[in-house]
Structure 1
Amino acid sequence: MTGKIDRFFRRCILASLVASSLCAFLSQHALAQGDPLPSWNDGAVKKSIMDFVAKVITQGGADFVSPAERIAVFDNDGTLWCEQPIYFQAAFALDRVKAMAAQHPEWKQQQPFRAFLSGDRKALAEQGEKGLLTLAATAHSGMTTDEFAKSVSDWLATAKHPRFNRPYNELIYQPMVELLAYLRANGFKTFIVSGGGVEFMRVWAEKAYGVPPEQVVGSSGVTKYQLDAAGRPSLLKTAKVQFIDDGPGKPAGINMIIGRRPILAFGNSDGDHQMLQWTMAGGGPRFAGIVHHTDAAREYAYDRPSKIGQLDKAWDEAKANGWTVVDMKQDWKKVFAFEP
């Protein structure tokens, strides 16, 4: 009889251990499944993001922020998608100029078109930033806003990145897509605030990031209202620049379009420096994040000396003031969604 009782208790203990192990496994699995940032490695950076969100959404807490004030702003080039070897909108503009060249034989004698069309990189470099702006303005003007949007869609459907051989709009950072979704799930309103052209980004940003057109702030050109022969209205894009949303222009653009100071801002370069400064200058809880490109194998590695996405002064201030710096190589499990 005693032996039967002993066997009974041993079975009970064994069953209890199995149940405990199963519960522990299921709990860990549930936590893994519930991770809102699965493409981020666990560590100080991921913790700083989640801790910030937790404190601003905790009602009754000292750092609670009402949903109306939960404004988060993100640069685009180099922060939400790749920007090397040249800004993707510049690649679009250059492809447009090539396509338009047959209708403009005079370009063969005019700079910067002559240098670009002949493949003379040295001569094109000598034209400097002004030359590139001339090419971009030419590629973007002389069509209606609807025609321009279609040209962007058509380009994205066919153009491929020279290194990754994939459409440009597939080169978006999976960890940042997750971060945008995580913030929105916690009552944040997410905006893109970029030096890129606002009409270029609005074509594809909602599908890529879940950010609707009205929440995209960017550089813009002057448009002209017109009626066609049938009396139908349209907006014609001109070559005249209206607003440059870069550097000190970013806080101005936020103030003009959004009307609220963000409590969270993410950038990757000195072009985002003033936006980060202005965000952190407000009262209450604040978060400034910088994406540092450190992964030459999966993407690119660059910072201070780079002509594209230079990170110098903003990096120094980030280190001095304790802003969160994301080390792409260390903090991201994957960079792009198409990675294994």
Structure 2
Amino acid sequence: MINTSISGTAFTAVSTDVVNRTNKEMSEEEIFSSGVSNSSNDLQTQKVKETSNISYETQHKLSNSSLVVFNDPTNGKYAIVSLQNSTIDMLKNHFGEDDFYKRDDGITRLDNKAEAYVAGWFGDIAYKREFLSADSNKDGLLSDSEYGSTKNSFSHHGNVLGFGDSLEINTWVGDTYESSSASSNNYINQMKNKTNITIDKQLDITINNDDDFNSEISFEEALTTHYNKNTEDSIIQLAKDMVGLPKELEDAMMMEKLKKLSEHNDDKIRAMVKLLLEKGDISMLDTTDKELLSNELSEANEDGSDIQKIMNKKLDELLKIEKYKEYE
């Protein structure tokens, strides 16, 4: 039997007041540009910056995204970011359409609880995780060295205890808001794909990782995203990566997992599990099972020596939790 536990909070959104505006109030808002690009007049550029009411304006929109604007919780100015359209739809489903006002310029103005939620996470990323100050050349993209100056990591601790045929794995958050340049294996970095890093990208990822909309990223939410697996499998994978597990113990854990999956409601998954429980013996499959696994079986060597490896890989693909999104 395997018992796992995970606890702690990795990141917390900035506390933000909820302001409920009328459509008339939002329609009359004026947003002034934050700068004059390619201007040869330094005095003119400085004047525009001084009169700007924008604290952050994206220079690199995410793919399949739209612009949204809200008040920066730290200074009351406007922040204009891009969020993927699927993320905006998810926010609308949770907070309601009334918290989203479409301006004449095409930008969606966030209001009420939706604004407070998104602005809180923006404040966390821009200021507590120091994404804004790390962008030393102010081009909107963080280079490797600039990203290394952010605080987008946290540490974790844990233990693995064996009791006869039982295994207990406990893990918990250590220090939070750690340097993104930390390389020790007991640190988890929030940015898996370290290219084209922007505040928008991390904000979109964070909103999608906050499954319960409680303005906190728990260790569980961060870990399942990191490994792209369910909670138990993520904890087990972390234990393997940190201390390793004896092969006989891994085999016993796999057998327990397969026995649970043998009652899965997907016929193909049950057929794969059946074959794995039979150690790859194809003769134990009935005609229906063989038809369900025809593509996978066709990939196997003639002697079937690699069938278990193929089935394990395909099973992982079918059970994969699609949480982490890649961004261009």
TM-score between the two structures when normalised by the length of structure 2: 0.26
Which structure exhibits the higher relative contact order, with contacts defined as CA atoms closer than 8 Å and separated by 6 or more residues? 1
TM-score of the superposed pair, with normalisation by structure 1: 0.25
